[in-house]
Amino acid sequence: MQDPLPEPCLFGYWRSSAAYRVRIALNLKRITARQVSVQLQLGEQTSDEHRARNPAGLVPVWRDADGFTLAQSLAIIDYLDEIYPNPPLLPNEPRQKAICREIAYTIACDIHPLGNLRVLEKLAADYGAGAGARAAWNRHWIGTGFCAIEARLAAIAGRHAAGDQITLADICLVPQVYNARRAGLDLAPYPRIAAADAAARALSAFAQAAPEAAATGAETFASPGGLPK
Ligand SMILES: N[C@@H](CCC(=O)N[C@@H](CS)C(=O)NCC(=O)O)C(=O)O
């Protein structure tokens, strides 16, 4: 069924780090869009209504005013970057651009999927993993990815993750650091990541995209059953 919303919309969730990435990109580019909350803690992402937008049953989903929909945060950000090129979210120089993507993909492809709600629910339901085991799993995989990124930042970080400009690397890093803090990961071994996170969060585009700023007031602030959302 077509959602009766004739304006650009971001279907997301306040604590979804993938939606958080898109909120940052929207703010950086000053794109106005209606924020529609899909309540993950109520399972709304698997409803027929949401699967009509995204058969994968995940957020975020972008929808243009004419009804065109797109899932996958990085695909959405690339799309918005093409349509609204200013400010660009990637450097022009091919190697710098590729390194920004390397950081972004390390987060979006290697770290984030392992800590996702449905993965942790599966660990609980089929393998008896309790809240402590799930949290340790989450910390393990974030830490593994952060070790790689921290080493990489030694060569490329400036004021921000990949040089002195905000890039896709920062857009992915800040939400993942938010998740790391929620999972109780000690950030002391990752000083470059912590510095890039702090520098980006000082900017209004990042601050206004933060989960607590995006909460609608209807959220359950306690995580049900030790799960992350
Ligand atoms: N690779 C996807 C990941 C999307 C994703 O996993 N979203 C999470 C929230 S951060 C979700 O919808 N989880 C619901 C669930 O696991 O049931 C993207 O970057 O958009």
Q: Model confidence over 161-179: pLDDT tens digits?
A: 999 999 999 999 999 999 9
Close Cβ partners of 30 (under 8 Å, ≥ 6 residues apart): none
Higher pLDDT, 73 or 215: 73
Residue 145 in this model has a pLDDT that exceeds 90: yes
Taking residues 130-136, report their average pLDDT.
Answer: 96
pLDDT digits (tens, 9 = 90+) for 15-43: 999 999 999 999 999 999 999 999 999 99
Helix axes 168-182, 191-201, angle to 10 degrees: 110
Q: How far is the CA of 93 from the centre of ligand 1 (A)?
A: 30
Model pLDDT, residue 215: 81
Q: CB atoms < 10 A from the CB of 130, how many?
A: 12
Model pLDDT, residue 48: 97
Model pLDDT, residue 6: 82
Pocket test for ligand 1, best of 117, 171, 174 (most atoms within 8 A of CB): 117
Residue 99, both tokens: 């390194």
Residue 93, both tokens: 């120089």
Higher pLDDT, 19 or 229: 19
- 35 forms beta bridges with 10
Q: Give the residue, by CA position, lying nearest to ligand 1 atom 14.
A: 58
Taking residues 101-112, report their average pLDDT.
Answer: 98
Looking at domain 94-207, its CATH architecture is: Up-down Bundle (1.20)
Q: Peptide bond preceding 191: is omega within 30 degrees of 0, i.e. cis?
A: no
Model pLDDT, residue 218: 58
Q: Give the residue, by CA position, lying nearest to ligand 1 atom 10.
A: 16
Q: What is the C-alpha to C-alpha distance for residues 37 and 50, in angstroms, rounded to an integer? A: 11
Query: CA dist 193 to 99, 157, 177, 178, Å?
Result: 15, 9, 8, 12
pLDDT digits (tens, 9 = 90+) for 40-50: 999 999 999 99
Ligand 1, pocket residues at CB < 6 Å: 16-18, 40, 45, 58-60, 72-74, 108, 116-118
Residue 228 in this model has a pLDDT that exceeds 60: no
The share of the chain scoring above pLDDT 90, in percent, equals: 90
Each domain of the chain, given as residue ranges in start order, spans 9-87, 94-207
Model pLDDT, residue 5: 63
User: What single DSSP character describes residue 157?
Assistant: B
Q: How far is the CA of 116 from the centre of ligand 1 (A)?
A: 6
Mean residue pLDDT across the chain: 93
Q: What is the C-alpha to C-alpha distance for residues 155 and 141, in angstroms, rounded to an integer? A: 23
Ligand 1 atom with minimal separation from the 59 CA: 12
Fold exhibited by the domain 9-87: Glutaredoxin (3.40.30)
Model pLDDT, residue 34: 96
Taking residues 209-219, report their average pLDDT.
Answer: 82
Residue 184 in this model has a pLDDT that exceeds 70: yes
Model pLDDT, residue 162: 96
